[in-house]
Amino acid sequence: MPTKSTRVSRGVQVDDVWAAADGVLAQRKRPTIERVRTHLGRGSAPAPPP
């Protein structure tokens, strides 16, 4: 089992999303999915429903 220092993080963590949303709000902008992703610098767009 890999140690914490060698483990690769998968996806975006909830705390990161909240921090990014706060950062977008600090710029006096609405924290949309696209703006939060841009602020994070990672993440993927949600898949459209079938």
- The average pLDDT across 8-37 equals 91
Would you say 24 and 36 are in contact if contact means Cβ atoms under 8 Å apart? yes
| Of 22 and 6, more confident | 22
Structural Rg of the chain based on CA atoms: 14
Q: For 25-35, how does the pLDDT look when each residue is reduced to its tens digit (9 = 90+)?
A: 999 999 999 99
Which region holds residue 28: left if phi is over 0, alpha if psi is between -120 and 50, else beta? left
49: confidence class by pLDDT, cuts 50, 70, 90: confident
Q: Where are the domains of the chain?
A: 12-42
